[in-house]
Structure 1
């Protein structure tokens, strides 16, 4: 079996991270809105989310904003044969920062959460540098 490039391995793990975001968001929203709301058709106006569920929703949305760039870069460096070096480092940085982002956002940690986002963006930039 041919070993997969690190970027593709992390792409697979990023799907796991997406599901972590979805589960955290879903569980916190269900806690605020109730099981009947979650199991039902969700017609009409939804009860407002509390602080934790709101943060979970915003963290998920933020992940979904940068995830397509990671997907594109991971595939591009692999398909062009430019995997490795800065791209691998960047992929690890992006992935680690995105993991750190979840508890920082849920905990309402100011500035450090923004720093985690900035570090994740740096990871994407490193991948882009390797590609270009």
Structure 2
């Protein structure tokens, strides 16, 4: 397996960890009666600020993972794997790991800077595959 595919698999596992980090406190705060329902109406209770941040970090990773998956597919199927693209993939994964506590604890402006590092690493993989 290429390093890019390895990091994609690890990023998917990170997504599962992020889901648990959000879902466990959300279930506690909202109650399983609501979280196991069809959620046809808004909850009667609100989630905490930190749980809300974990939810937004989770959603942000879903969005980032789409572009990173495209980059990984382009690099891998295009047979354009290089040391540079592998490094970019690992940088993306490291940035996404750091992004979780940065968002959860409200690290400003570091959260945005960490996000930008992962985004640039992903775009760099795509550009490298085209060159």
**One fold, TM greater than 0.5?**
yes
Q: Which runs of 4+ in 1 moved over 4 A?
A: none
Alpha-carbon distance between aligned partners in 1 of 2:25 and 2:109, rounded to the nearest angstrom:
23
Work out which of the residue numbers 82, 101, 104 in structure 1 matches 2:102: 104
- Contact 1:85–1:130 (CA<8 Å) still a contact in 2? no
Using structure 2 for the length normalisation, give the TM-score.
0.92
- 1:81 counterpart SS class: coil
- Contact 1:7–1:74 (CA<8 Å) still a contact in 2? yes
- 1:83 counterpart SS class: coil
Alpha-carbon distance between aligned partners in 1 of 2:84 and 2:124, rounded to the nearest angstrom:
6
The aligned counterpart of 1:87 is 85
Specify every segment of 5 or more residues in structure 1 that has no aligned partner in the other structure, as ranges. Answer: none
| Superposed CA offset, 1:16-42 (max 9, x none) | 011111111111211221122223332
Two-structure CA RMSD over aligned residues (Å): 1.2
1:65 aligns with 2:70: no
| Superposed CA offset, 1:53-98 (max 9, x none) | 1101110111111111100110110111101222111101100000
The aligned counterpart of 2:35 is 38
Alpha-carbon distance between aligned partners in 2 of 1:112 and 1:44, rounded to the nearest angstrom:
35
What aligned pairs does 1:114-129 form with structure 2 within 5 A after superposition? 114-129=112-127
Specify every segment of 5 or more residues in structure 2 that has no aligned partner in the other structure, as ranges. Answer: none
The aligned counterpart of 1:54 is 52
